[in-house]
Amino acid sequence: MAKVSFVVNGEARTLDLDTRTTLLDALREHLHLTGTKKGCDHGQCGACTVMVDGRRINSCLTLAVMHEGDDITTIEGLGTPQKLHPMQAAFVKHDGYQCGYCTPGQICSAVAALDEIKAGIPSHVSADLTAPPQLTAIELRERMSGNICRCGAYSNILDAIAEVAGRTS
Partner 1 sequence: MKSFTYERAASPAEAAAAAARIAGAKFIAGGTNLLDLMKLEIETPAHLIDVNGLALDKIEATADGGLRIGALVRNTDLAADQRVRRDYGLLARALLAGASGQLRNKATTAGNLLQRTRCPYFYDTNQPCNKRKPGSGCAALGGFSRAHAVVGVSDACIAVYPSDMAVALMALDATVETVCADGTTRRIPIAQLYRLPGETPHVENVLESGELISAVSLPKPVGGAHIYRKVRDRASYAFALVSVGAIVQRDGTGRVALGGVAPKPWRVAAAEAELPRGAKAVTAALLADAKPTRENAFKLPLVERTLGAVLRDARA
Q: Which stretches of the chain bind ligand FAD, using CB under 6 A? A: 43-44
Q: Quote the least distance from Cβ 122 to ligand FAD, whole Å.
A: 16
Q: How far is the CB of 83 from partner 1 (least distance, A)?
A: 26
Q: Of 92, 99, 121, 151, which lies in the binding site for partner 1, with binding defined by CB under 8 A?
A: 121
- Nearest of 21, 160, 153, 9 to residue 88 by alpha carbon: 160
User: Smallest distance from the beta carbon of 106 to partner 1, in angstroms?
Assistant: 12
Say if residues 102 and 155 touch (Cβ distance below 8 Å).
no
Number of chain positions touching ligand FES (CB under 6 A): 23
Sequence-ordered list of residues with C-beta below 8 angstroms from that of 43, at least 6 positions apart, any chain: 58, 60, 61
* H helix runs in the chain, sequence order: 23-25, 75-78, 86-93, 103-118, 137-143, 154-165
Instruction: Rule CB under 6 A: say whether 149 interacts with ligand FES.
Output: yes
Beta bridge partners of 12: 7
Cα distance between residue 73 and residue 36, in whole Å: 10
For ligand FES, the closer of residues 70 and 122 by Cβ is: 70
**Site mask for ligand FES (CB under 6 A), range 109-128, x = bound:** --------------------
Residues that bind ligand FES (CB under 6 A): 38-41, 43-48, 58, 60, 97-103, 149-151, 153
